Amino acid sequence: MLNYLWGFMIVIGIIYAALTGNLPAVTNAALDSAKEAVTLCITMLGVMSLWVGLMRIAENCGIISGAARRMNPLLRFMFPNIPKNHKANEYISANIIANMFGLGWAATPAGL
C-alpha cells in the first residue's frame, strides 16, 4: 500500500512540474540526489566494513560472549522470554555496546 502512495506522489510531482514548467529542475534534483546516494553508499560501505570486521574479531576473541555474560542480568530483565544461554543475548549485547560507543548506524550489523 505504501508503494502505491509513494508512486502516486512521485507521479503527481512530475505532472505538476511539467505543467508549471519546472521539469528541468526536477530532473536536476533527481540526478543530484542519485549522485549523493551513491556517495553515501560508498561512505557507508567503508565504515560498515571496518566495524563489522572489528566486531567479528571481538566475537572470535570472546569479548562479545564475555560482555553478554556481564550484561546477562540486564538482558534477562529486558528480554525475559529469551532462553538463558541463547545466541541472541550475544547479538543484543554487541548492539548495546556498539551504541554505547556511539557508532550510530554502524551498530546495526552488530544486532543483526
CA distances from 71 to 60, 84, 95, 97 (A): 18, 12, 12, 10
Cβ neighbours around 106 below 10 Å, total: 20
Which residues 6+ apart lie within 8 Å of 90 measured at CB? Answer: 59, 64, 65, 68
Q: Residue 80 carries which DSSP code?
A: T
**Domain assignments of the chain as residue spans, ordered by start:** 48-112
Q: What is the pLDDT along the chain (112 residues), one digit of tens a residue?
A: 889 999 999 999 999 998 998 889 988 998 999 999 999 999 888 888 888 788 788 888 888 778 878 888 888 899 999 888 788 888 888 888 878 777 777 677 766 6
Position 31 scores a pLDDT of 93
Position 43 scores a pLDDT of 87
d(CA 55, CA 39): 24
Q: Residue 106 carries which DSSP code?
A: G
